[in-house]
Structure 1
Amino acid sequence: MHRRHFLLGGAAVMLLPVPAVADAAPRATLYKNPQCSCCEGYADYLRRNGFAVEVKPTNDLAEISRKAGVPEDLEGCHTTFIGRYVIDGHVPIDVVRKLLAEKPAIAGITLPGMPAGSPGMVGDKTEKFVIYAVTKDGKAPSVYATV
């Protein structure tokens, strides 16, 4: 009788759905200017760090950032959505992971411009990166991290 239960239990386990490996990777959608190549570098950076990234070229990048809560003067080079958050610009992965782990009540984070030495950009890092937290409720952006 015990052997029969063991075999039936083993058969039941084999019928359970097995998640695909790609399902384990957090999904990211990156919007970029069609002519920009550094954005592809950032997408590759996210992939190397375990994200499944879909790149969508667009000529409406400023509008996408604005609707996501990123003020014009703090826009980055591209706009990425991961879960419920916007990540604008070349934000280092440690700060992205911090955001996703802490789950703050903000719209997302942004690293303005295209700083040299940031993920996906060429050159050496010459100064600290200031990453800002942004909201959609009109509150002023605040410093989220400095790296």
Structure 2
Amino acid sequence: MTVHTTAHLNFHGEAREALEFYQSVFGGEVMVATYGDFGMPKDAPGAEHVVFGQVVGANGFRVMAYDVPGEGERTPGGETTRVNGLTMTTERFFLSVRGDSVEEIAAHWEKLRNGATVIQDFGPSQWAPGFGMLTDRFGTTWILDVESGY
């Protein structure tokens, strides 16, 4: 079994552009799925934004990115986002842990969630057999998921 830790960058409508730039710098393949690809009406605002994106290079380079839902603006060290009338601050990055099996990643999830604030409980998602998101007791936001070939 293999586990990879990857920087997961957060944007407001710039994720695709950033991923294409990183590809031009480091090489590799860009993979992008939009909110529209996962069921948001294609004509809805933000449907073209990235819900899952990554660059993977044969040289070992890997970075992930997505567009945070809602309207937002960049601030030093994070972003302010407004969704449904609520304002929240989002870090500019998450740490993403990806593995080969649900059992392996679920075991890491159970340990990491001790004292954490769960954002999305670990379980099946539209893009992975297992996915979860939490902010640990030290304030770091983690995404744990199972490789799906996306």
- What is the TM-score when the length of structure 1 is the normalising length? 0.31
More strand by share: 2
- Where relative contact order (Cα < 8 A, 6+ residues apart) is larger, the structure is 2
More helix by share: 1
Max Rg structure: 1
